[in-house]
Structure 1
């Protein structure tokens, strides 16, 4: 099977998996009033899931390195979780709190940095450390700006949630660093 057929097959599986995932809230809506999704919620969730999976497939399609693929996977999963949680309930206060818009800057840094690095592991290390630093700056701004007074975000909650994402960005960066080292070792041994 050539690369294009394999990619088409994976995209088909990804599309089917996205549909199955979207069936979960659809079925839940039939049995409880706790789950309320609009048509636009389903469209956005589908685009986000399919887009994240497609990005993984396209970025990793030529890489034989398991370390690189794992680093890409964690990076995309972190970005997915940041977008999803920010839009669903908000990181600070509710999703309507304007400081939550700043978190999209972290995503923009990740996307632009990835393109500037041409998805090379060495450049991704820098990109993800910058993303982690930016996430930490937003948390500091939220705390020193008094956003912890916005219910329901306490200082501890702001530190905890942002610390979780900062940790994920840093672990992703370290995974890319490891992938770059493995790649350099493999080139030296040839």
Structure 2
């Protein structure tokens, strides 16, 4: 006798692969607390734990919503890539700053790119076809950050290219999801 049902869900309604990221996030959040107790040179404040908790909880919650919104693997992968890109931008920006230090105000433009992606997603009503445009717009905004940084005397093409690749890969995955939706849609009546 097995706990799994036909759709891969256990008795609680959530399969192991949907619970595992939450367990992993909890372990990541606990790691600095354990390191502090063991005498490592880790000094986190309550604020640090709150920020880290929010940084982990928000993308995981959005992913949960995406899983419920679409059964398309391409759509879900597009969400994961977009969330991962936004997470890496936020993490690197808060930790050390992408340009100069984390306190350099020019780094705020990188958060503007994430805002472009979020605003575009809402404008697209989270539909795959619209998310293609939103993620492409985020990639274009990301390219603009390199131009602005270069005008300020900073060379950021490698890191910006990495982030642009994430946004463009997400757009490509959403395009695949939109094509899947179009193929599975019933024909329109004449």
Which of the five TM-score ranges fits, normalised by the shorter chain?
0.7 to 0.9
| Alignment-derived partner of residue 174 in structure 1 | 172
1:28 aligns with 2:35: yes
Question: CA RMSD of the aligned region, Å?
Answer: 2.4
Equivalence map 1:33-182=2 (5 Å): 33=41, 35-146=42-153, 148=154, 155=155, 158-182=156-180
TM-score normalized with structure 2 length: 0.84
Compute the displacement of 1:104 (Å): 1.0
Compute the displacement of 1:133 (Å): 0.7
SS at match of 2:69: coil
Q: Which has the higher contact order (CA 8 A, sep 6+)?
A: 1
Provide the rounded CA distance (Å) in 1 between the counterparts of 2:159 and 2:43.
25
Q: Deviations over 1:107-139 (max 9, x none)?
A: 111111111101101110111111111111011
Runs of 5+ consecutive residues of structure 1 not aligned to the other structure: 149-154
Higher Rg of the two aligned structures = 2
Q: Which structure has the highest helix share of the two?
A: 1
